[in-house]
Structure 1
Amino acid sequence: MVVRTTSLNSIKNLLPKIHQPLPISRRDSQQLLESITTSFRRNLDEEHPWEHGNEPVSQNSIPQSRKPTASTFINSNSSSPSPASTDISNRQRPTDRHLRAILSNPLFAHQNNKKSPAARRSQLDVFDHAVARGLMTPRRAAGFLAKVRSEIVGESEDDIRLGMADSGAGLRVVQWLRASGLENNLQFLSDPVLFPALIPFMYAEGLEEVAWHWMARIGTRDEADEIKDAQFAVLSSLLYAIMKQTNTSYSGLKTSLDPSYEAVIRANDILPKKNVTLKSLKDIWVDLSWASTVFASERPKPSAHLFESFVKIGRPLKMRLDLAHLELHHPLTPNHFAAVQFMHRNANSTDLRPIIRKRLLCLAMDTADRLKEVGDTEEVSWVERFLTRLGYDLNTCIGIFNALEGSLIASELPIRRM
């Protein structure tokens, strides 16, 4: 007797097709997605049982969250969420929360910003596409920000700031840094060119606290000797980017130095007192000192208490020339004593570096003006003879100073690098 067996083709026809032929219909695609989602939820629930009961909460009963803002992004790491958000989170299944976290990750996002102009939307799409394909780097992110900034125009300061805030470009880059893990290990700091492009967007979008958090982390890292120079370069780049944001408007106009003094005071408070951080802080202090004296006439007078706190930070640095010049420019009680004393001590110095001689020339001219105000004609005559001994053509030097103004903290090339 012959036993007939089912052919292989018959058995194959009884089994569902695992690999659907391409292209599949929209209905088949939806069914496949639902099947994968159901399987994923079931397995995740088995690994992480739901402790709040077995009755699932329907998605319709969960209020739809609003579009996240810059403030909600910063507060997302807070340890004390709002009662409303905690209640919603507690009523969701663990699978739902996990799925939402995955789908909200910018590495999987590729959506158009419908509120942005068409030209800017294309830049955001290019950024999202590069992120989704794993092609984004800190240098490319800096290029993306520069391109978005070049497309923002406005007749007023508020227009430019609003345009930068509406673009959401800064938040997009920060989210990418966080989602890709570059923020956790500070790998993005290896390319400090990102800071000058990113910090202005962060300030416009209300994300400046994130930048200060980065600064604190950079300052507290214990690096090996061979990479401390890189740490210094990164910290200096971040400090200069913040300082430029606090003393220069988006349209390029110079503003009050009060925010810059506040930034230096805050950096001094949060940075540890070690060689790398002290060197970075000293450089930024010296540059701000130059802006506070040589070009003081181009800015409004600062607040006295902030000015004094800034000077106090510089006293341990023993920058006698800077401190003497700053006393001449005290917003309430200018004093010429230290300036006159410094010039008498260095009257016969011939080995001063060119940048020191130029600063000394400015000090002498400001001192002469102050002495004329108080009526000290004898000391004025000595200061004028001191200026003559410097051997500079005043008109030529003044022209040099005007050309060097781009090297201050309001520029990307600080004066210390000349």
Structure 2
Amino acid sequence: MFQTKTLARVLPTLHKPLPLNRREAQRLLDTLTASFRKHLDTEHGWLPDEAPTASTAQPTSTHRRPTDHHLSSILSNPLFNPPTISPTSNNASSSHTKPAAANFAKETAVFDEAVARGMMTVPRAHGFLIAVRNSILRSSFLSIQDGMQASGAGVRVASWIQSSGMEKDLSSFLNNDGFLRLLVPFMVAEGLEEKLWSWLEQIRDMSSSPTAKKPPRWFFILGAIARAKTLDGGSLDAAYASILRGEELFKHHDYQNLVHAWLIVWWQSTVKAWRFSPASEDLFENYVAISDHLKRPLVLQRAHLDLHHPNPAKTTPDRAVRLFMEDGPKGGWREALSAPQNKNSGLRANQVMSLGLDTVKYLSEAGDSALAQRILEILQREIEPLFPASEKAFRVSY
């Protein structure tokens, strides 16, 4: 009959540490803390005017030791001090504070933990912004703008970008169009627009340096700022001002790239004009004048802007009527429709159709029903067939 050996006799002797009581645990912590301070003191040395003396002993809370300075700099880093999630703007209702904390608690907790562990990356920050945006869309905020103000997401991401040193290489994140398209509206809503302009100034300086690496595409950032200004039916004046500020900043640096941001604001000023209050006449005209200096033909866009001048006395359909009725080799609607401004022919057809309907509406209200009918027939015969059957919503409505 075999005898079973006990497990203690089979396995080697294990020296398991006994549980520490509170006094022993505190003693161990004090020993480790003293050792850590001694090591840092050896590495960094005392500051010139802070060498310890018997007569100048200071409490540890005053941060007189170099190790205390070191620890204080770590703990004051933005990575360890994320902003409080609460509405900071006067436009955000205080009633949103509690919903904001509930809506964004999960997303911000994941973001903060990833930052604290050094695991945050641009794709992960992008995912964080997407998650916060989706939470805003599901929330009870009156507008997306209010939700972004309350989320603190833009402040969090901007603080991470700064403290991680990524601002030293702007191309490491500014060339990511999808990330930038989401980040900029958050930053504008949270009062960080000047940080964006500081990045644009750095890009301008990089463009001026013959030895600098290829800078990020500044026109995409400018366009994102202008788009953010018109979010939720914001302000056309603010959008015009941003384009004019960008023109002043980059007038001697690849000026033609202004067309990207200019077209973004044109779309809001015409197709989406119903969402906005009338703009300032001076800002509008200064914005429109930029197109005179751009090489890209903007015949259709200028014709459309003529119909949306903030001063009714200066509103005119002349360009639009010539574009539809003459249809010559230089500036007709057929040329506008086929212009290589966008590979999406459906978008181009939408732009021509929008201009045509606005022209028909203006002529009808002005009493020229015959000319309005002729242009409407062109739209129905030539433009409407370009749309899929499910999108043919441009029946006679004027």
The answer for the alignment partner of 2:9 in structure 1 is none
Query: Alpha-carbon deviation of 1:183?
Result: 1.6
CA distance in 2, matches of 1:269, 1:183: 23
- Name the count of aligned residue pairs: 339
The answer for the alignment partner of 1:322 in structure 2 is 301
**Please, which of 359, 364, 367 is the counterpart of residue 359 of structure 2?**
367
CA distance in 1, matches of 2:393, 2:27: 70
Q: Does 1:346 align with 2:338?
A: no
Query: Alpha-carbon deviation of 1:146?
Result: 2.2
Q: Does 1:331 align with 2:331?
A: no
Query: Alpha-carbon deviation of 1:243?
Result: 3.0
Question: Relative to structure 1, is the Cα distance of residues 401 and 174 closer, same or farther in structure 2, using a 3 angstrom cutoff?
Answer: farther
The answer for the alignment partner of 1:239 in structure 2 is 222
Cα pair 2:303 2:320 within 8 Å, conserved: yes
CA distance in 1, matches of 2:267, 2:148: 30
**Deviation digits for residues 365-391 of structure 1, max 9, x if unmatched?**
43344344445x4xx645643554563
Q: Superposition pairs for residues 2-401 of structure 1, below 5 Å?
A: 25-41=25-41, 44-46=44-46, 48-50=47-49, 55=56, 58=59, 96-106=68-78, 109=80, 117=101, 120-152=104-136, 154-157=139-142, 164-186=148-170, 187-222=172-207, 231-232=216-217, 235-249=218-232, 254-275=233-254, 278-279=256-257, 281-317=258-294, 318-332=297-311, 333-343=314-324, 345-347=326-328, 352-353=337-338, 358-375=350-367, 377=368, 381-382=370-371, 384-389=373-378, 391-392=381-382, 400=391
Cα pair 1:170 1:201 within 8 Å, conserved: yes
Query: Alpha-carbon deviation of 1:21?
Result: 11
**Deviation digits for residues 231-270 of structure 1, max 9, x if unmatched?**
33xx454334323321122xxxx34422222222222222
Question: Relative to structure 1, is the Cα distance of residues 361 and 43 closer, same or farther in structure 2, using a 3 angstrom cutoff?
Answer: closer
SS at match of 1:135: coil
CA distance in 2, matches of 1:401, 1:206: 41
Cα pair 1:164 1:204 within 8 Å, conserved: yes
**Deviation digits for residues 13-51 of structure 1, max 9, x if unmatched?**
xxxxxxx999882332133213422552465344x4128
The answer for the alignment partner of 1:6 in structure 2 is none
Cα pair 2:236 2:279 within 8 Å, conserved: yes
The answer for the alignment partner of 1:5 in structure 2 is none
Equivalent position amino acid for 1:37 in 2: R
* TM-score (normalizing by structure 1): 0.65
Equivalent position amino acid for 2:302 in 1: L
Cα pair 1:110 1:129 within 8 Å, conserved: no
The answer for the alignment partner of 2:95 in structure 1 is none
Provide the aligned C-alpha RMSD in A. Answer: 4.2
Query: Alpha-carbon deviation of 1:139?
Result: 0.6
CA distance in 1, matches of 2:48, 2:393: 70
Question: Relative to structure 1, is the Cα distance of residues 323 and 243 closer, same or farther in structure 2, using a 3 angstrom cutoff?
Answer: same
Query: Alpha-carbon deviation of 1:304?
Result: 1.8
Query: Alpha-carbon deviation of 1:400?
Result: 4.3
CA distance in 2, matches of 1:164, 1:132: 23
**Deviation digits for residues 67-99 of structure 1, max 9, x if unmatched?**
xxxxxxxxxxxxxxxxxxxxxxxxx67664443
Cα pair 1:261 1:306 within 8 Å, conserved: yes
Equivalent position amino acid for 1:336 in 2: P
Question: Relative to structure 1, is the Cα distance of residues 177 and 402 closer, same or farther in structure 2, using a 3 angstrom cutoff?
Answer: farther
Cα pair 1:56 1:93 within 8 Å, conserved: no
Question: Relative to structure 1, is the Cα distance of residues 312 and 135 closer, same or farther in structure 2, using a 3 angstrom cutoff?
Answer: same
Equivalent position amino acid for 1:137 in 2: T
Query: Alpha-carbon deviation of 1:311?
Result: 0.8
The answer for the alignment partner of 2:94 in structure 1 is none
Question: Relative to structure 1, is the Cα distance of residues 371 and 53 closer, same or farther in structure 2, using a 3 angstrom cutoff?
Answer: farther
**Deviation digits for residues 203-252 of structure 1, max 9, x if unmatched?**
33322221222233234433999x86x833xx454334323321122xxx
SS at match of 1:221: helix
Bigger RCO (CA 8 Å, 6+ sep): 1
Question: Relative to structure 1, is the Cα distance of residues 133 and 183 closer, same or farther in structure 2, using a 3 angstrom cutoff?
Answer: same
Equivalent position amino acid for 1:144 in 2: F
